[in-house]
Amino acid sequence: MNNLIITNARIVTPIGHSARKGKEMSKLLLIERGTIEVKDGIIVYVGEEKKHLGNDQMKDVRHYDAKGRCLLPGFVDSHTHFVFGGERAKEFSWRLAGESYMSIMNKGGGIVNTVKATRAMDFDTMYDRANKLLRRMSRMGITTVEGKSGYGLDCDTELKQLEVMKKLNEKLDKRVDISATFLGAHAIPEEYKGKSDEYIDFLIEEMLPIIKRKKLAQFCDVFCEEGVFSVEQSRKLLTAAKEVGFALKIHADEIVSLGGAELAAELGAVSADHLLHASDAGIKAMADKNVIATLLPLTAFALKEQYARGREMIDAGCAVALATDLNPGSCFSGSIPLTIDLACIYMKLSIEEAITALTLNGAAAINSADKIGSVEVGKQADFVILDSSDYRYLPYYIGMNCVGTVVKNGRIYEIEN
Ligand code: NIG
Ligand code: FE
C-alpha cells in the first residue's frame, strides 16, 4: 500500500528540480503544520493542514500523525562504493600508526587489496553484504544511494558489482534506490602495471560498450590523481564515455591539486568529488559551468586530511552536495549524522545549506532532481521524520541518529534508536 496521508508534520525542504547554487542553498521552505498526500508512492499534495482531505477516491490509505515532528526529504548519498569484497581493518591500523593512504597503496595495499577480495567473492555473498550496508544506511535516513564499481578492474568483476546493484535496485520492497556508476578507472590492476595507457584503452574499447549495452550504469567516473590516472588519461576516458552517452563524475583533487575540478568543468561533468585541494580557478570553473561540488568530509576526517573549502565554494556560487563516500579503505562509514557535523563544524556550512546539500543537490548530482530531493508535488514520497520538531537537531546530535521514521515510496519504517 503506497497511499498515505501524513498530518501534523513540520515540513522543511528545499524547492526545485535542479541543484541550488550559492546563496540559494540556504533557502528552505518551512510549513509549520503540514499535510502530505501520497498516491502510489508519489506526492500529490503538500501544504498547510486541510480540513477535507481530497483522497475520497483513494483506496487503502494509511493515515499517519507525525505529531509535530520535523519532516525532510529523504537523504541522497550521491557518492559511495558500497559493493565490494573483503575489508581493510589492518590498513586502518597502519594509518593510525602514521602511514599514509598513498604509501599503503604504493606498497600493494589499498584499492588493489580490495580488488583481490572482490574478484574472489561470489555474487550472492556480495549481494547480501551490500544489502546489509544499505539497511544500515537507510536507518540514518538515506533513501537513495549512488554506488560505484571499481573493485573489479576486469570485465567479469566490474560487471558482477554492477549486476549486484541492478538486482538490489529491482527488489520490490527496497528501502534505498540505487544509481550506478562505472569506475573501472579506480586503480591500475596488477595485469596492467606500468601500462596504464593500455588499461585506459581497454576500458574505452571493451568495457564502456558492454556496460552501455547492458544499461548497467548511468555515470562514468575516474580517480584522477597523481600516481593513479593523469588529467590526460582522465580526459581521454571521460570524453569517450560522454560520446557513448554516459554522464560524468570525477574523483578530483583529493590528494594533490591536479586540475580535476577544471577538467570536470571543461567536460561538463555532473559532479566533481572530494576536492580537498581544488584550486581557486577550479572552484570558479565549477561555479561557472554548473558542476556540482560533491564534498565527502568523512573521508577527510578518516584520513586526517584538511577539509574541502565548502564555505568558499558556496560563496563562489557553487552548488555543493554532501555524501558519505562509504568504502572499505579510506572511509568505512555511511554516517549521515557525522557527515552533517563535519560539514557544519569544519567546512562551515549552515544547517540549511547542509540539508540542501544532502537532499536536492545530492539528487541533482545523480541527475534525479526531477524525481527526488525535495518534498514537492510530483516527486517520490521519500522522507525522513526526525525525533524532534527542530531540524537543528541534525548537527546538534553529534554522530548520533535523530531520524525516527523513514518513508520510502510512501511506505513507513519506524527506526529504533
Ligand atoms: O573515494 N579515492 C578513491 N577512491 C575511494 C577510496 C577507495 C579505497 O580506498 O578503497 C575514495 O575515497
Ligand atoms: Fe570515492
Domain CATH number, residue 343 = 3.20.20.140
269-303 tens-digit pLDDT: 999 999 999 999 999 999 999 999 999 999 999 99
Q: Please indicate, yes or no, whether residues 127 and 171 belong to a single structural domain of this protein.
A: yes
Q: Please indicate, yes or no, whether residues 129 and 67 belong to a single structural domain of this protein.
A: no
Laid out side by side, the sheet with 247-252 consists of 75-77, 142-148, 177-185, 219-224, 247-252, 271-274, 292-295, 320-322
Residue 59 lies in a domain: yes
Residue 230 lies in a domain: yes
Closest residue by Cα to atom 12, ligand 1, is: 330
- pLDDT, averaged across the chain: 96
Return all residues near 70 (Cβ < 8 A) that are at least 6 apart: 9, 10, 11, 12, 385, 386, 388, 389, 390, 391, 393
309-344 tens-digit pLDDT: 999 999 999 999 999 999 999 999 999 999 999 999
Q: Please indicate, yes or no, whether residues 65 and 100 belong to a single structural domain of this protein.
A: no
CA distance 348 to 82: 27
* Residue to mutate (ligand 1; options 81, 104, 298, 301; most atoms within 8 A of CB): 81
Residue 114 beta carbon below 6 angstroms from any ligand 1 atom: yes
Residue 23 confidence (pLDDT) above 70: yes
Q: What is the pLDDT of residue 50?
A: 75
Residue 34 lies in a domain: yes
327 Cα–ligand 1 center, Å: 6
Residue 182 confidence (pLDDT) above 60: yes
- From the list 74, 22, 47, 48, the residue with the least C-alpha distance to 381 is 74
Q: Which helix (H) or strand (E) holds 406?
A: strand 403-408
- The pTM score is 0.97
Q: Within a 10 A sphere around the Cβ of 306, how many other Cβ atoms? A: 10
Residue 369 lies in a domain: no
CA distance 284 to 293: 11
Domain count, the chain: 2
Q: Within a 10 A sphere around the Cβ of 87, how many other Cβ atoms? A: 15
- Give the domain extent around 10: 4-73+374-414
Q: How many residues does the chain have?
A: 417
Q: Please indicate, yes or no, whether residues 324 and 384 belong to a single structural domain of this protein.
A: no
State phi, psi for 221 to the nearest 5 degrees.
-130, 160
Q: What is the pLDDT of residue 108?
A: 82
Domain CATH number, residue 27 = 2.30.40.10
400 Cα–ligand 1 center, Å: 25
Q: What is the pLDDT of residue 1?
A: 61
- Give the pLDDT band (50/70/90) at residue 106: confident
